[in-house]
Structure 1
Amino acid sequence: MKDTKSTKKTEKTAVAGKKLVESYKAFLDAGKTERECVVQIIAMAEAHGYKDIASCKSLEPGDKVYVQKMNKAIALFEIGKGSIEDGMNILGAHIDSPRLDAKQNPLYESDCITYLNTHYYGGIKKYQWVTLPLAVHGVVCKADGTVVQVNIGEDADDPVFCISDILPHLAQDQMKKTGAEIIKGEDLDVIFGLRIPSEKDGKTDDEEGKDSGKKKKGKADGKKAILELLKKKYNIEADDLKSAELEIVPAGAARDCGLDRSMILGYGQDDRSCAFTSVAAMLESSAGKRTNCCICVDKEEIGSVGATGMASHMFENAVAEVIARLPEGYSELSLRRSLANSIMLSSDVNAAYDPKNSSLYDKDNSSSLGGGLVLNKYTGSRGKSGASDANPEFIARLRGVFDKAGVSYQMAELGKVDQGGGGTIAYLAAKYGMNVLDAGVAVLSMHAPWEIIAKEDLIQAYAGYKAFLKI
């Protein structure tokens, strides 16, 4: 006879996993910038009873609050029954991803084509960004205080944008260059519009003067036409672009990948695969004795700098605001004890083993697609530079937690020693004296415009984060 209870449990788990995956893909589609992610996280949190901490004068066990910073970073807290000085259970991820940013004077016209001038953000292979359909997301802040939301290229009726490349017939010189030189940073300018050439084009100023009887078009008519369209759609002027934050990202939705639909192809899965599952785990958990926290920060891809990066005081300030509202009241010592006694999973992705480039990996110490939650004792590069290097006692404790919860996990490094490396926010949390371990999802084609993860790994990450919050 079949085990009916076991079958129903398996079916229920499969349905829950499918729901998680579909919610995640929707999160990716609506959150292609850190600002868009924060908007979604706040909406999700408020639907689960979280309140803006600014509206709370005091806090007690069971209360749920969030602290957001400049619309680009956010921390969620659920107050536990014990003293916060005994530490918190923290999930920490980042919500920024590699992309192109528009410069502050972005529009220019060259030989009838209008371009958006860009500066790339984060570690990218520049040649991967040419000849792709691109979208523009962001905000334009006007001098009167108005903030205009911009999103062009995602709807079916929207135009998309593109960066041109040289045709193979004329690319003999280009093809002799290294991958780093094929496309230069200053060549990553996005085609924004086209002006139909007039008789005036190609003439000297003297020749133009002789055509006084003909209607002349200005040299920047194409740029002017683009500005008129922006004025009509968004009511913004040319000067408003000086205080804009426009991010250029791949246009299109996250999709199932593979004939068996076992994977997800999407933009920004580093690190939104871990950010989404961390937030979801936080919202579906209940704090016990210890206070639970989930923090999603900005700027990790460029060194965790700025007011919204993990290297700032944003996180400790948020914790201070929580402590100040607890019955015990705020003290510097309480803050220090709380942070030092906390434990954290640095929810960040790891490089998935690539069979097509196996020489770059130590296979026995690599993470595989479908292998479950990736635990990375240390990141960094060349001699563990830039790593926090988690304590084995903490790893052993987590192994016990995950084993008990039935979570699949794998121990891995980024790649071969001396091959390269990378970092996470782990070392910035470890400076407070807390135990920290990198734990996330394996990603294939990391930092490419379109990245690949396994659905199974997303599900296991969510399960692992939930189990961690129960400690």
Structure 2
Amino acid sequence: MSAPHRFDRGHTDDLMSFLAASPSPYHAVANTAERLEKAGFRQVAETDAWDAETSAGSATGSGGKYVLRGGAIVAWYVPEGAAPHTPFRIVGAHTDSPNLRVKPEPDLGGHGWRQVAVEIYGGPLLNSWLDRDLGLAGRLTLRDGTSRLVNIDRPLLRVPQLAIHLDRAVNTDGLKLDKQRHLQPIWGMSDDVREGDLIAFLEQESGLASGEVTGWDLMVHSIEPPAYLGRDRELVAGPRMDNLLSVHAAAAALASVATSSAAGDGALPYIPVLAAFDHEENGSQSDTGADGPLLGSVLERSVFARGGSYEDRARAFAGTVCLSSDTGHAVHPNYAERHDPTHHPRVNGGPILKVNVNNRYATDGSGRAVWAAACDRAGVPFQNFVSNNSMPCGTTIGPITAARHGIKTVDIGVAILSMHSARELCGADDPHLLANALVAFLEG
């Protein structure tokens, strides 16, 4: 059923548009849902009773559906004739990125400057947010309990760095930033900073009445658009590749597989799933994080809605495989000694398989075989990644997913540079190579 390299550089062009349009997790899931809708998927409410038609889309129990919860989305496609115990093939990813987020009392200032009070989210490279034109985006919650997305995608904020004349040793001793004192952005001038200024501004920008906003989840973003880079445009620079690159690839793969199945191009032995979670960057412990109940609840309800029993649920989970897709580290030419000496993933070398024997990644030998088979069917090369033994290894949603749901999980992704920077760097071919491999994996 797979067609090698069904995605090409056009996929990378589309990724760049997706990154630019998704300055927050809430925008990312809204844009993902819109793309899935075009492939025939329909939203189902968690508060509704689910049956075969509700959870899949037709009287026969086939079709594509998705659930939205905050900054997370879970989407699945039930192929024609799928039994209640049919296993799932899941691609897991996350929608959040390290950044600066607005505090509950956002209005701040002094010495004639108007500022916005921010808190550090996740583990950003703090220096990458300095002297950069910044916008503001996120979710506004209104007095009636509804929410509205907001995106001020123009130069609004800036975190100015101290001039070298006032910090003569910065280039020899290194930049030292205090998270509380040195990272509060400026957004104007005023000797009279008043409570409610920022929210009143956002209400006006959003066409809302004064006092209509009672809650907010707001974050700062770089307004510089993604761009091709290099002599031959073989690189892409842009924001939030960790991990919207994987969200975008997974959504494209799921839509492709569902469209092919609906057209009768072949029977699917698995139920393909996209699970894009929020809050990975700070531990995944939330109702929309991978350590929460969202994925398990959706999968179980899908089984039961198709007439399945707990035994069917156990059988389905036992045969399920999840690919935890997240970015990893490409070998850095200026710091090659920080990498494992025999594992040097390169950009445009294909996606990476992540391994850590202490289970910071969930990959084992049998999982590697599943991934290798998918790449082989797609005609996609892949690379191996392990951390230098002297360096602490990061982690992903992979081990969390494996432990929480008892399903085989494999950690994979795309190698990038400048991870956790306000602007990251990847190879221009790797996004579509990843998407092709995900198609082969979801098709089984």
What TM-score, normalized by structure 1, do the two folds share?
A: 0.83
Please report how far the alpha carbon of residue 176 of structure 1 lies from its aligned counterpart in structure 2 after TM superposition: 7.1
- The residue that corresponds to 1:211 in the other structure is none
Q: Which amino acid aligns with 2:284?
A: S
2: CA distance, partners of 1:187 / 1:241 = 29
The answer to whether residue 238 in structure 2 is matched with residue 266 in structure 1 is yes
Structure in which a larger fraction of residues adopt helix: 1
Q: Output the amino acid matched with 2:412.
A: A
Give the deviation of 1:404 after TM superposition.
Answer: 3.4
Which residue is equivalent to 2:335? 357
The residue identity in structure 1 corresponding to 2:136 is: V
Q: Is structure 2 residue 426 aligned with structure 1 residue 453?
A: yes
Which residue matches 1:411? 384
Tell me the equivalent position of 1:162: 158
2:186 equivalent to 1:191: yes
Structure 1 portions without partners, runs of 5+: 1-8, 196-218
Report the secondary structure of 1:243's partner residue. strand
Q: Which residue of 1 aligns with 2:300?
A: 320
Answer whether contact 1:341 1:433 (CA < 8 A) is retained. Answer: no
Give 1:253 shift: 1.1
User: For the residues of structure 2 that align with 1:353 and 1:438, how far apart are their CA atoms?
Assistant: 18
Give, in angstroms, the shift of residue 267 of structure 1. Answer: 0.3
The count of aligned residue pairs is 423
State the AA in 1 paired with 2:73.
I
Q: Cα distance, 1:348 vs. partner?
A: 1.1
| Greater radius of gyration (CA) | 1
SS in 2 for 1:159: strand
Unaligned residue ranges in structure 2 (runs of 5+): 262-266
Larger deviation, residues 397-406 vs 277-286: 397-406
Contact 1:68/1:75 (8 A) holds in 2: yes
Whole-Å separation in 1 of the counterparts to 2:289 and 2:142: 25
Residue 48 of structure 1: how far off its partner (Å) = 0.7
Q: How big is each residue's C-alpha offset from its partner over 1:331-361, in whole Å with a ceiling of 9 and x where there is no partner?
A: 3333333223201111111111101101101
2:37 match: 46
Quick one: distance in 2 between partners of 1:253 and 1:151? 14
Please tell me whether the aligned partners of residues 67 and 73 of structure 2 are also in contact (alpha carbons under 8 angstroms).
yes
Shift of 1:226: 5.9
Q: Secondary structure at the match of 2:367?
A: helix
Q: How does 1:393-408 map to 2 (within 5 A)?
A: 393-408=366-381
Structure 1 residue 102 displacement after superposition: 0.3
In the TM superposition, residue 193 of structure 1 has moved relative to its aligned partner by 1.2
Aligned amino acid, residue 149 of structure 1: L
Aligned to 2:145: 145
Aligned to 1:334: 312
**Could you tell me how far 1:249 is from its partner in structure 2?**
1.1
The within-5 A match list for 1:36-185 is 36-54=27-45, 57-58=51-52, 59=56, 60=60, 62-70=62-70, 72-80=71-79, 81-152=81-152, 154=153, 158-172=154-168, 179=175, 181-185=176-180
CA distance in structure 2 between the aligned counterparts of 1:99 and 1:226, rounded to whole angstroms: 19
How far apart, in 1, do the equivalents of 2:100 and 2:376 lie? 41
| Structure 2 residue corresponding to 1:372, chosen from 350, 355, 373 | 350
**1:129 Cα deviation after fit:** 1.2
- Structure 1 CA distance, aligned partners of 2:61 and 2:271? 8
SS at match of 1:182: coil
Contact 1:137-1:150 within 8 A present in 2 as well: yes
Partner of 1:272: helix, strand, or coil?
helix
Alpha-carbon distance in structure 2 between the residues aligned to 1:315 and 1:77: 11
Q: For each residue in 1:385-433, what CA deviation from the matched residue of structure 2 results, as whole angstroms up to 9, or x when unmatched?
A: 6333x231231243233223311111112x3112122101111121223
SS at match of 1:364: coil
1:160/1:251 contact within 8 Å kept: no
**Comparing 186-195 with 42-51, which one deviates more in the overlay?**
186-195
What are the within-5 Å matches in structure 2 for residues 421-440 of structure 1? 421-431=393-403, 432-440=405-413
Root mean square deviation of aligned Cα: 2.5
Which whole-Å CA distance do the structure 2 matches of 1:334 and 1:406 have between them?
A: 34
TM-score, structure 2 normalization: 0.88
User: Percent same amino acid among aligned pairs?
Assistant: 23
1:62 to partner: Cα distance: 3.4
1:356-381 residue CA offsets vs partner (Å, 9 max, x unmatched)? 10110114213211110111133xxx
Task: Output the CA distance in 2 between the equivalents of 1:24 and 1:98.
Answer: 19
How many angstroms apart in 2 are the aligned matches of 1:256 and 1:75?
31
Q: How does 1:217-256 map to 2 (within 5 A)?
A: 219-220=191-192, 229-234=201-206, 243-256=215-228
Distance 1:276 1:306 in 2: 22
Deviations 1:131-161 (A, max 9, x none): 1111100122232335343211x2xxx4331
- Cα deviation, 1:165-186, whole Å, max 9, x if unaligned, reads 110011136667655x334344
Partner secondary structure for residue 433 of structure 2? helix
* Offset, 1:163: 0.5
Cα 1:76–1:232 change in 2 (3 A) is closer
2:10 aligned with 1:19, yes or no? yes
- 1:229: how far off? 4.2
Aligned equivalents of 1:385, 1:468: Cα separation in 2: 22
Question: Do the aligned residues in 2 keep the contact of 1:175 with 1:182 (CA within 8 Å)?
Answer: no
* Matching residue's letter, 1:426: G
